[in-house]
A = this chain, B = another copy of it.
Amino acid sequence: MKSREHVAIIGLGLIGGSLARDLAAAGAVVSAFDNDAAQLDAAIAAGVVTHALDAWLAGVAGASTIVIAVPVDAATDVLRRIAPHAGRATLITDVGSTKSRIVDEAVTLGLADRFVGSHPMAGDHRSGWEASRRALFTGARVYLCATQGASPALVERAELLWRGVNARPCLVDAEHHDRKLAWSSHLPHVVSTTLALALARAGITREELGPGGRDVTRLAGSSPDMWTAIARENATAIDAALAAVEHEIAGFRDALARADATALHQKFTAGRGWFVSAEAV
């Protein structure tokens, strides 16, 4: 990244805050807005953010890159607010876990030549500026979803932005992304939450779990606002993925009821085979 590039970040949560930290450390001038004035103040006090933007977001006019880092149900609204102010040569991106709607909205707003959606596969169950940190994106895959007919040069700028924080960008179609992420991200989140709900109802505390069980339920600690928005936006695909887990649980219960050691062993072996093949990558 060029030194003293000006990046505007809307939303200083875990993702926006961590990106701000890395970009500032790399020499960028970071301006930012957050609904929570305390988070914005903390980011300024930390020397990460140099200019506070107001809620109108007119201050993004001077930015060469604008990053929208708010929950997915608020992102299109932010995109509409910045549309009149973003310069012609600005790269606009976001970091949301669903991509179809915001890419469509960018086209509708006449930002097709400036918008490339991003979804970094990085995160934590913790949220907010206080959870943000340097190097969150190191080694992380970042899905890029461009508008139809976006210029290679624009896509390359988005790639450079993420490579600059040591992430691994890869270009995918937005609808394909959303269908795939329903499985690879949203499903594990919802399964972790439903497991937590079942344990809560049974009166089992997380403190009673071993290290493995604590890992399985860690994502239940994620932000309800963020995940309600994602669940609504990708409801159909998430529902299909949940149906597949229901099917596997039913198959497991069937094997238990039949005391079928061979079937149970096959299931554990297939699960482990899937696990191990990734370890070998």
Contact = CB atoms under 8 A, between A and B. Distances in A.
Interface of A: 121-125, 140-141, 180, 183-185, 187-202, 204-213, 215-225, 227-228, 231-232, 235, 238-239, 241-253, 256-257, 259, 261, 264-265, 267-279, 281
Contact of A228 (B216, B251, B264, B274): B264
B213 A185 contact: yes
Contacts of A208: 141, 180, 184
Given A195-B245, A224-B268, A238-B256, A188 B202 contact: no
Contacts of A281: 205, 207
B279 A221 contact: yes
Given A140-B210, A184-B199, 9 more contacts: A183-B199, A184-B204, A188-B212, A196-B275, A198-B248, A202-B241, A202-B244, A218-B275, A220-B272
A199 B279 CA distance: 15
B228 A265 contact: yes
A99 to B, nearest CB: 15
A85 to B, nearest CB: 30
Contact of A249 (B194, B209, B219): B194
A248 B199 CA distance: 10
A268 B122 contact: no
Nearest to A221: B275
20 contacts: A141-B208, A141-B210, A183-B202, A184-B208, A187-B199, A188-B195, A188-B212, A188-B216, A192-B212, A192-B271, A197-B267, A198-B247, A200-B270, A200-B274, A202-B244, A207-B278, A212-B218, A228-B268, A231-B264, A245-B249
A271 B215 contact: no
Given A216-B215, A245-B249, A278 B205 contact: yes
Contact of A216 (B191, B270, B273): B191
A181 to B, nearest CB: 9
Nearest to A260: B232
A265 B71 CA distance: 13
Contacts of A273: 200
Between A185, A191, A218, A265, the greatest number of chain B beta carbons within 10 A of the residue's beta carbon is seen for A191
Given A245-B249, A276-B221, A192 B216 contact: yes
A108 B273 CA distance: 39
A246 B246 contact: yes
A72 B232 CA distance: 44
A176 B123 CA distance: 38
Contacts of A232: 259, 261, 264
A70 to B, nearest CB: 17
A244 B183 contact: no
